[in-house]
Structure 1
Amino acid sequence: MQNQKQRKVEFGDFQTPVSLAREICSLIAQTGFCPVSVLEPNCGTGSFLKASLETFPDVSRVLGFEINSQYVAQALQTVAHSFPRAHVEVYQADFFSTNWSEIIRALPDPILVIGNPPWVTNAVLGALGSSNVPAKSNLDNLCGIDARTGKSNFDISEWMIRKNVEWLNGKHGVLAMLCKTTVARKTLLYAWQHELRIGSASLYNLDAKEYFGVSVDACLLLIRSDPNGHSKECQVFPSLRAQQPDNTFSLQDGRLVADVKSYQKWKNIIGKGFQGWRSGIKHDCSKVFELKIESGKFVNGLGEFIELEPEILFPLLKSSDLVAHRNPCRWIIVPQRTMSDDPSRLRLDAPKAWNYLTGHACFLEKRKSSIYKNRPPFSIFGVGSYTFAPWKVAISGLYKKLEFVKVMPFQGLPVVLDDTCYFFSCKSEEECNVLYELVMSEPARELWSALIFWDAKRPITAQLLNLLDLTSLARVLGKESNVVQALAKRQIVESMEGAYQRLLFMEEVAEYEVGQFQTNLELPPARQALVPDTDSACDIDLCNEMHSSHSCR
């Protein structure tokens, strides 16, 4: 039998308090909106249905739908005999198989679509083996490996709310949905990019811990549909009771902008198609790939002391190390030099490493990401000549700071970063210093800040960093030079199909320049005996900034 906790995650079994539902309906009424019809696609035990009937005296028809038969009975009881003037219906139904177009056509305007769909991602439901998901599709027409990795993971509520907005397109109505803040922005971006008719939009921040006991950035999203609407901005209020917005975000040149003034000031230094910034190595098996040094010997995450060939071992930095400005205190096994490299070459080139990986194949075979499917055994991603550049400018993708770090060689070796970090590879210390000066400049930081939404799980991304045109920036700063030209050339990378790469660990066909980086670093003859500086502290645990996967209604 499915346990209760799993059902809560899978079906969003966290009921909305009636007090919150009433407060939201009161807020909608204060805007002057008076619905004739109310629809709640995921009504749970009926809190929103009850609050809507109490708040809007002119409503004539109320429809609720719910997949849980017990909740259908509770919802009917919640609204029974209390509101004789309105025609109230509650049905058991699966959101993903319901003919919503037919239902919407039968409802008179203006329509209020209200509720709180599940706060859970398709990846979580996939891990649970759940069927409570929409039909498989490429939600945003992602290309290649994007459609098989993190970018393709989406909240089920986002899929539902997109459908909600589409229902109201061309009609007079209001959409009022509780959801993650990131889901609200993505929904608006979708609506704006698809020219859906929106009269106005607002976002009210919500304390999800208070109402649902979960730590997640959440909000009430209010969208007023209008057949003649063309609005592409959203006011952000600090709370449901706030009278004035804190700020406004909008769609500018096809992208979401958090600070329109700064964006307009510096958008001339935005470039297109750049791919200089990359994520670090993705391996998804730290117990096997990542090593520490104890008593002068390497030890893996299983507590095993191991001896490996030095040429496949490199010092490693993670996000927490960058933020703390620590020297490397981990090492990583790198079985490939490029994405096209087959790790099976280690059988001859590094037999100790091959035997070690073979002996731990049971762990590597459990890696769930589809990117490893049909790849050679022990494959990793995010590796190429750029990985072994001697100098790098790097930044954490997890922490809420626009702070760059110069990464220098460690114990004569190039430092490797993991996939929570982004970096730009440099051939020399001079290049590293020049690049660091550019990215720490006021124009660069103001431009990026104008585009960053700090409540996102990963506010800083390679896509964001790669918007900056180093040539244009240097021209604005009056710092044009041969070094800048060399760095700018490295921003352009072609992919197999002639389009620019969209993910940092996509297999490359063309290197930055003819030939790979030459590190010009001599490898110590006995690297397995090297011990990092004893003064550098090492916090093994990364800051876990993943949102809660709990769902709410």
Structure 2
Amino acid sequence: MQNKNEITRQREQKRFDSSHSQEERNEHGQFATPYPLASVIAKDLFSRTGKDISVLEPSCGTGAFISALLSMSDRVKITGVEKDSSLCKTAQQLWSSDACQIINDDFFDYASMESQQFDAIISNPPYSRHHHLSQSEKRFYSQLATTFSGVCLSGLAGLHAYFLLTGTGMLKEDGVGSWLIPSELFSVNYGAPIRRFLTQSVSLERIHFFDPENLQFDDALVTSCVAIIRKKKPDSKSNAIFTYGDFQSPRKTVEISLADLSKLNKWQHLEDYSGQTEFGGRVLGDYFKAKRGIATGGNSFFIRSRSEWHQEGISDEWLSPILPSPRNFHLSEVTSDESGWPQESDTALLNIPKSSSYADLPPSVQNYLNTCPEKIRNGYILKHRTPWYSIGATASAPIICTYMSRSEEAPFRFIRNRSNAIMTNTYLGLYPQTSMSETELDNMCAALNEIPAEVLINGGREYGGGLKKLEPRELMFLPISF
């Protein structure tokens, strides 16, 4: 049964959310924990620590976790820290007491001055991406995280990573931290130092991955997980528990030794873990290099049908064949006419060489360039490209990969390209490391399309709403039998 204060908190939270734009909340990572989820995480925490404890909530917001903790124990002592003054004011009005202190401060400023250590931490830290952090903030957060944990983070780390490392350093020995964080931390490259920290410096008790289609936050497109960490040096026989689905009643539980876990680059998909930590065969990177396609800076201006370009008076001399967007192109093969143009598509790119000065261009090309919309002309890519209208030469790839999908059955497609068509950055191109015959390329493309869907998904990463993505480096580590 929710008490009166919790009902008030939810009303005030809804008011706050409705008065701030999605862009503002994305920038500051302000996505409140749903109370039912806060309750099950708090219950799990108490099962590991007992209820007569001191708890730090380093980004308490209006206090969903505080509300859950207080509803379960009258012996818990809580310190909540919140940077946003309006959220902090709500939390203070609702929860401040002898048992609960709410502090209006930046957590990292608080941590740098506070010597108290806590029995437990429970937190849904801000989901701010690295590009929302200034260089001075990154330096301060990084120095503090290193001081508290010994871990040095990449500049690509999001704010939640700094919270986790600094907060864990504020735990007493044998203290427990329960962290509701984006699951991508356990797959992306910038998370590698944290993964080492969790297998070597502390005891990782459990990571629970929610299903990608089951977003825990209605308005944040991230797939979430709960990482439960005990501040205790692991021994040689320590194991971690990975669970999937519902937090209280998981559909799948996997136990893995920290020794084996430390050998794995990705932790997000271990449902079918069998004890094999290394793949002894060949990987795609043994045969190919992967490159992302071109970024035009304005596809609507630079890409049209070949016939439309001809109607503008622009000849093939200034055009290159280019594949349509993956959502509009579903074939497994691109064939070619005698001149190298695809027979399956007439989409063309305005591809002016960098050596061509504006004055030397045909009047038809000059006239078209003069129609470039101001929004595109002043965009980041065009403003930083010289000359702005020249995208630059690129070679066609004999095999092309679609690297974003929501499909479980066929997440990524491999397309055999026999034409001179290039691609936009909605594709990845595979370029052979050494010379390969047409037959060898045919066989390789067929082998890639036979890779099981779960292997492809496990090799990449997943985001909110079931979006799956395969980055060039991840593509290179796909096992391949050829």
Tell me whether 1:439 sits opposite 2:445 in the alignment: no
Deviation of 1:152 after TM superposition, in Å, equals 7.0
Note if contact 2:264-2:277 (Cα within 8 Å) is conserved in structure 1: no
SS in 2 for 1:307: coil
Change (3 A) 1:445 1:8: closer
Q: Structure 1 regions of 5+ residues with no counterpart?
A: 140-150, 300-304, 337-341, 475-553
Deviation of 1:463 after TM superposition, in Å, equals 0.7
Query: What is the alpha-carbon root mean square deviation over aligned residues?
Result: 4.1
Note if contact 1:316-1:330 (Cα within 8 Å) is conserved in structure 2: yes
Note if contact 2:206-2:243 (Cα within 8 Å) is conserved in structure 1: no
Change (3 A) 1:69 1:138: closer
Indicate the residue corresponding to 2:242 in structure 1: 235
Tell me whether 1:378 sits opposite 2:389 in the alignment: yes
Question: Normalised by the size of structure 1, how large is the TM-score?
Answer: 0.64
Indicate the residue corresponding to 2:350 in structure 1: 333
- CA deviations 1:409-452 (Å, max 9, x no partner) are 2xxxx11111121122477633431321342455x978655533
Note if contact 2:462-2:469 (Cα within 8 Å) is conserved in structure 1: yes
Tell me whether 1:181 sits opposite 2:183 in the alignment: yes
Note if contact 1:297-1:306 (Cα within 8 Å) is conserved in structure 2: yes
SS in 2 for 1:269: coil
Deviation of 1:25 after TM superposition, in Å, equals 0.6
- CA deviations 1:82-114 (Å, max 9, x no partner) are xx5x3x221111245x141442x3124x2x222
Indicate the residue corresponding to 2:39 in structure 1: 22
- State how 1:82-481 maps to structure 2 within 5 Å: 84=98, 86=99, 88-95=100-107, 98-103=109-114, 105-108=115-118, 110=119, 112-123=120-131, 125=132, 134-135=137-138, 155-168=158-171, 171-183=173-185, 185-186=187-188, 189-194=192-197, 195-205=200-210, 212-214=217-219, 216-229=221-234, 235-243=242-250, 245-247=252-254, 251=261, 253=263, 255-256=265-266, 258-259=269-270, 260-261=273-274, 264=277, 266-270=279-283, 276-292=289-305, 296-298=307-309, 306-317=312-323, 318-323=325-330, 325=332, 327-328=344-345, 330-336=347-353, 342=354, 344-345=356-357, 348=360, 352-353=364-365, 356-357=368-369, 359-360=371-372, 362-368=374-380, 373=384, 375-380=386-391, 383-384=393-394, 387-388=395-396, 392-399=398-405, 400=407, 401-409=411-419, 414-425=420-431, 429-441=438-450, 448=456, 450-455=458-463, 457-467=467-477, 473-474=481-482
Change (3 A) 1:73 1:364: closer
Q: Structure 2 regions of 5+ residues with no counterpart?
A: 1-17, 143-153, 334-343
Residue type at the aligned position of 2:296: H
Tell me whether 1:4 sits opposite 2:23 in the alignment: no
Deviation of 1:462 after TM superposition, in Å, equals 1.2
Residue type at the aligned position of 2:160: S
Distance 1:251 1:322 in 2: 39
Indicate the residue corresponding to 2:69 in structure 1: 52
Note if contact 1:157-1:183 (Cα within 8 Å) is conserved in structure 2: no
Note if contact 2:138-2:155 (Cα within 8 Å) is conserved in structure 1: no
- CA deviations 1:530-552 (Å, max 9, x no partner) are xxxxxxxxxxxxxxxxxxxxxxx
Of residues 8-17 and 264-273 in structure 1, the stretch that sits farther from structure 2 once superposed is: 264-273
Of residues 448-457 and 36-45 in structure 1, the stretch that sits farther from structure 2 once superposed is: 448-457
Note if contact 2:128-2:159 (Cα within 8 Å) is conserved in structure 1: yes
Sequence identity percentage: 16
- CA deviations 1:160-209 (Å, max 9, x no partner) are 334434545x8322222323322465586432234432332312417897
Note if contact 2:212-2:462 (Cα within 8 Å) is conserved in structure 1: no
Change (3 A) 1:252 1:22: closer
- CA deviations 1:322-365 (Å, max 9, x no partner) are 546593353222335xxxxx354565366644553355274444
SS in 2 for 1:64: strand
- CA deviations 1:129-181 (Å, max 9, x no partner) are xx799336998xxxxxxxxxxx976543344334434545x832222232332
Indicate the residue corresponding to 1:145 in structure 2: none
Indicate the residue corresponding to 2:338 in structure 1: none
Q: 2:85 aligns with which of 59, 66, 69?
A: 69
SS in 2 for 1:311: helix
Distance 1:107 1:213 in 2: 34
SS in 2 for 1:417: coil
Deviation of 1:33 after TM superposition, in Å, equals 5.4
Change (3 A) 1:225 1:418: same
For CA contacts below 8 A with separation 6 or more, give which structure has more relative contact order: 1
Q: How many residues align?
A: 422
Distance 1:234 1:352 in 2: 65
Distance 2:168 2:288 in 1: 34
Change (3 A) 1:297 1:191: closer
SS in 2 for 1:177: strand
Change (3 A) 1:132 1:433: closer
